[in-house]
């Protein structure tokens, strides 16, 4: 279900406020406006802020990249637990709106390619009707041999028969890891292999 969201954000406690607007048609923040047709890749996650001996805070990170290479960066920083709950809730709302408005349609376009029996590449992985080919490897991992594991920070794809043949993708570092997760899991579920 597509949704619109407008939030007032302060990246740090001392920063000036900026308005983030997410609608089914566009994404706007800090003088950058991207239409849904321009948004090509999204990544998100939480980074720890480490002091000399322990964690002292966290940074909620959300990036959207356009087809032309423009990157919109949204950062929300909490130190010593100040604003942690408020920023965490805003982060969850933003990610949910991005999933519904932009990530799901990107996933659907890849799923449609697969249903049309067209091979495609996603994050260096080639998807074919027989299986996948991991980056820089020529061997096809058949769908029945494909395993996946999802963790809070990363997603892995591997061969069940040869677990050393794997690739890990980090949500906060690798563009469109959420898309890879959705597309690969959809295909495995459609083939009744998940």
Q: What is the pLDDT of residue 14?
A: 80
Tokens representing residue 189 in the block = 């579920």
The count of C-alpha atoms lying within 13 angstroms of the C-alpha of 169, restricted to the half-sphere facing its C-beta, is 25
**Residues 53, 31: Cα–Cα separation, whole Å:** 38
More confident residue, 164 or 44: 44
What is the average per-residue pLDDT within 61-86? 93
Alpha helices, H only, the chain: 84-98, 104-115, 177-190
Please give the order of strands across the beta sheet that includes 131-133. Answer: 120-122, 125-127, 131-133, 140-142
pTM of the predicted protein model:
0.90
Mind listing the pLDDT tens digit for each residue in 121-161? Answer: 999 999 999 999 987 767 899 999 999 999 999 999 999 99
Q: What is the pLDDT of residue 1?
A: 58
């Amino acid at each position: 279900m597509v949704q619109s969201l407008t939030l007032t954000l302060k990246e740090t406690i001392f920063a000036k406020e900026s308005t983030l607007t997410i609608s089914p048609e566009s994404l706007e923040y800090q003088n950058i406006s991207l239409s849904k047709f321009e948004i090509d890749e999204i990544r998100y996650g939480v980074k720890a802020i480490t002091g000399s001996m322990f964690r002292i805070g966290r940074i909620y990170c959300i990036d959207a990249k356009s087809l032309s290479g423009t990157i919109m960066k949204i950062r929300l920083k909490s130190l010593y637990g100040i604003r942690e709950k408020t920023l965490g809730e805003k982060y969850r709302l933003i990610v949910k709106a991005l999933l519904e408005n932009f990530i799901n349609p990107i996933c659907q376009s890849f799923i449609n390619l697969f249903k049309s029996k067209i091979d495609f590449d996603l994050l260096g992985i080639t998807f074919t009707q027989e299986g996948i080919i991991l980056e820089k490897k020529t061997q096809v991992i058949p769908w029945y041999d494909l395993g996946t594991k999802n963790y809070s920070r990363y997603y892995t794809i591997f061969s069940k028969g040869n677990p050393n043949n794997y690739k890990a993708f980090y949500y906060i570092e690798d563009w469109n890891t959420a898309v890879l997760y959705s597309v690969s899991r959809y295909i495995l579920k459609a083939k009744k292999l998940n």
